[in-house]
A and B are shown apart, each in its own frame.
Chain A
Amino acid sequence: MADPRSFVVDDTQKGIFLLDREALVSEQVLRDEVKNVFAKCWIYVGHGSELKKNGDFQTRRVAGRPVIFVRDQQGQVRCHFNTCRHRGAIVCNDRSGNVRRFNCVYHGWIYGNDGSLQRVPGDEAYTEAFDQKSLALKGPARFEEYRDFWFMNLDPNAQPLTEYLGKATDYIDLVIDQSPSGKMEVLPGTQEYDVSANWKLMVENSVDDYHLPSTHSTWLNFMANSGVKVEPPKAKDQVLPTRGWAIELGNGHFTTDNVNFRGRPVAKWIPLYGPEAEGEIAAIRAELVERLGEERATRVADTNRNLVIFPNLVINDGSSVTIRTFYPDGPAKMHVTAWALGPVEESENARARRLDAFLTFYGPGGFATPDDVEALEMVQQGLANWEDDRWSEMSRGMGREGEQLNSDEHHLRIFWRKWNAMMTGAAK
């Protein structure tokens, strides 16, 4: 039985999947998804490596909430709402830094970096009912990590993070296996870009391999000019040079998984990296084989994976590793933040190569991302006709049995089914 409020037509019999474009334009939908999606799911806050020393902090907005991501004096990673318990001002105005205390500039309330309220100027003016201990900075109901990726959940009854991530942890592990010590770090420098488009279009775009030849032909040219000839696919059902899959990971998470055709800092040399890099990349690869065995090393070094953790975290392990998250600012606008991730023990040259490879594709000055941004903005502009042209056609690959291709829309449908279920109350 189709729910009357369903945003999708999901007809597996006929092999047709349609999305109601109201999902991409409506203020009411946005209000509902703040409540039904962002307040119910585990939302990525930051990586433990961004807080190297006790007292290190980062302020950011997570699911629209101003938070302080901080390592306290005991070394415990915490997430506080950046909101004074007194009258509500943000208590930390710096983007990042190292402090023992957060001082509210308005009336001078002072909090420890563990969130405890340590000083209230003129506290003799309060009655005994005033309980300073109970006025620590608040935070999300839940705050948990998986291998130093920290997430918050506003729902106290949410399932534990690792349970929520489920099979997606295998794909996070695969990224972390690049590092001999099993430790990855977020590199300095943050990329930010706003996109005048609905945030869910970025979920689609991050994993949609159907668009690569048309949206990114100038990137393919650049690769060819740099000695990486990307051969057109031989198989009829293939859009990309190598065969790749779209894999459902449960709970709305999914990933693409394809044999690499474009070089990887870990560990597949291409001429773009320069002849001097060949030896070191071979050594990085040899270490992978030594540590992980041939099969696992091949998975780490020779596959590209674009992973979506529902709803709004993307970890792309492709030309480089990027962590990307985004949050709506109105139905037709989102803020995107992206970081680069690398093994802690990487040599100076390997690090430079990783960052350079990142910029060949990703980011506001990259050779591909600006065209993605343009494509999403063009979608949003076109959607102004939504009331008379209501449905997006997303049936690609519906009839395919068994393994699903990354150039189909199977994985996009996984997202929309999960989202639709949460929005219509059909989610378990």
Chain B
Amino acid sequence: MTFQAKTFPVTRAQVEDFLFYEASLLDNWKLNEWQELLTEDACYYVPPNDDLEGSHRNTLFIIADDRERIRQRVIRVLDPNCHAEHPRSRLSRIVGNVRITEQDGDILTVWANFVVHRYRRNERLGEYVGHYRYLLKLDGDSFRIKERRAYLKSHELGSLGSVSFIL
């Protein structure tokens, strides 16, 4: 397969700016602001490590949220009674290798690599490594997230423990 440059109505730099902005909201637990970046039918998926290509309709995922579930997840994790995130994880994510790969009408498919470093009280550093696949909806001179899928590359999730923050 040879690489062929494609042209899109937006630049990679514009997409990167958007993803970096999203990363800063997630790292800083500004989850209500983050939700403003989502379309009303947005979904958020974390497939299981042993079946990355499966569908959440017939495969047990780690996370398979529709828009309402995302809303409920945010309510939950911001609640001080969400013990798994109290005190909150300190997060720092590096998003890189951003690529726009497809356009279908006003929907762009975007891939990126991530490394999310997570510190919790009494715990050593946790390192979540993988790829994001976004479906971004063109929205004026910005974007909205229609789908966000985080593929964890580790062979097993075990050592990473819970995914109680937004990955």
A interface list, Cβ under 8 A from B? 95-96, 187-196, 215, 217-219, 221-222, 225-226, 335-336, 339-340, 348, 351-352, 355-356, 358-359, 363-365, 367, 369-371, 373-375, 377-378, 381
Chain B 35-72 interface mask (CB, 8 Å, partner A; 1/0)? 00000000000111111001011111111100000001
Interface contact A191-B75, CB-CB below 8 Å: no
Interface contact A192-B157, CB-CB below 8 Å: yes
B76 within 8 A of A: yes
Closest A residue to B156 by CB, please name it.
A192
Interface contact A365-B122, CB-CB below 8 Å: no
In the bound complex, CA of A373 to CA of B84 (Å): 8
Chain B 140-167 interface mask (CB, 8 Å, partner A; 1/0)? 0000000000000001111111111000
B73 within 8 A of A: yes
Interface contact A355-B58, CB-CB below 8 Å: yes
In the bound complex, CA of A191 to CA of B46 (Å): 11
Q: What are the residues of chain B within 8 A of A95 when measuring CB–CB?
A: 50, 155
Interface contact A189-B51, CB-CB below 8 Å: yes
Q: What are the residues of chain B within 8 A of A195 when measuring CB–CB?
A: 161
Instruction: Report 5 cross-chain contacts, Cβ distance below 8 Å, ordered by A residue.
Output: A192-B157, A192-B158, A215-B83, A221-B79, A365-B164
Q: What are the residues of chain A within 8 A of B164 when measuring CB–CB?
A: 364-365, 370
Q: What are the residues of chain B within 8 A of A339 when measuring CB–CB?
A: 60
In the bound complex, CA of A336 to CA of B79 (Å): 26
Interface contact A222-B63, CB-CB below 8 Å: no
Interface contact B60-A193, CB-CB below 8 Å: no
Q: Would you give the shortest CB distance from B65 to chain A, in whole angstroms?
A: 8
Q: Would you give the shortest CB distance from B2 to chain A, in whole angstroms?
A: 31
B94 within 8 A of A: no
In the bound complex, CA of A128 to CA of B64 (Å): 60
Q: What are the residues of chain B within 8 A of A375 when measuring CB–CB?
A: 83
In the bound complex, CA of A364 to CA of B162 (Å): 4
Q: Would you give the shortest CB distance from A192 to chain B, in whole angstroms?
A: 4
Closest 4 pairs (CB-CB, A-B): A189-B60, A370-B84, A365-B63, A370-B162
From A188, A191, A373, B54 is in contact (CB under 8 Å) with: A188
Interface contact B83-A191, CB-CB below 8 Å: no
In the bound complex, CA of A194 to CA of B124 (Å): 14
Interface contact B84-A374, CB-CB below 8 Å: yes
Q: What are the residues of chain A within 8 A of B10 when measuring CB–CB?
A: none
In the bound complex, CA of A359 to CA of B72 (Å): 13
Q: Would you give the shortest CB distance from A400 to chain B, in whole angstroms?
A: 29
Chain B: interface residue count, which band?
35 or more
Closest A residue to B63 by CB, please name it.
A365
In the bound complex, CA of A210 to CA of B157 (Å): 29
From B49, B59, B82, A218 is in contact (CB under 8 Å) with: B82
Interface contact A194-B50, CB-CB below 8 Å: no
Q: Would you give the shortest CB distance from B50 to chain A, in whole angstroms?
A: 5
Q: What are the residues of chain A within 8 A of B79 when measuring CB–CB?
A: 217-218, 221
From B46, B58, B158, A194 is in contact (CB under 8 Å) with: B158
In the bound complex, CA of A225 to CA of B46 (Å): 23
In the bound complex, CA of A196 to CA of B61 (Å): 23
Interface contact B61-A222, CB-CB below 8 Å: no
B81 within 8 A of A: yes
From B50, B123, B163, A365 is in contact (CB under 8 Å) with: B163
Interface contact B57-A348, CB-CB below 8 Å: yes
Interface contact B59-A188, CB-CB below 8 Å: yes
Interface contact A381-B122, CB-CB below 8 Å: yes
In the bound complex, CA of A262 to CA of B72 (Å): 17
Q: What are the residues of chain B within 8 A of A364 when measuring CB–CB?
A: 62, 157, 160-164
Closest B residue to A351 by CB, please name it.
B58
In B104-122, the 8 Å CB interface with A consists of 122
Interface contact A363-B76, CB-CB below 8 Å: no
Q: What are the residues of chain A within 8 A of B62 when measuring CB–CB?
A: 191, 363-365
In the bound complex, CA of A96 to CA of B50 (Å): 9
In the bound complex, CA of A355 to CA of B84 (Å): 22
Q: Would you give the shortest CB distance from B53 to chain A, in whole angstroms?
A: 10
Q: What are the residues of chain B within 8 A of A219 when measuring CB–CB?
A: 76
In the complex with contacts A352-B58, A355-B64, A365-B164, A190-B50 CB distance below 8 A: yes
In the complex with contacts A222-B75, A369-B162, A373-B162, A191-B64 CB distance below 8 A: no
Q: Would you give the shortest CB distance from B35 to chain A, in whole angstroms?
A: 15
Q: What are the residues of chain A within 8 A of B64 when measuring CB–CB?
A: 355-356, 359
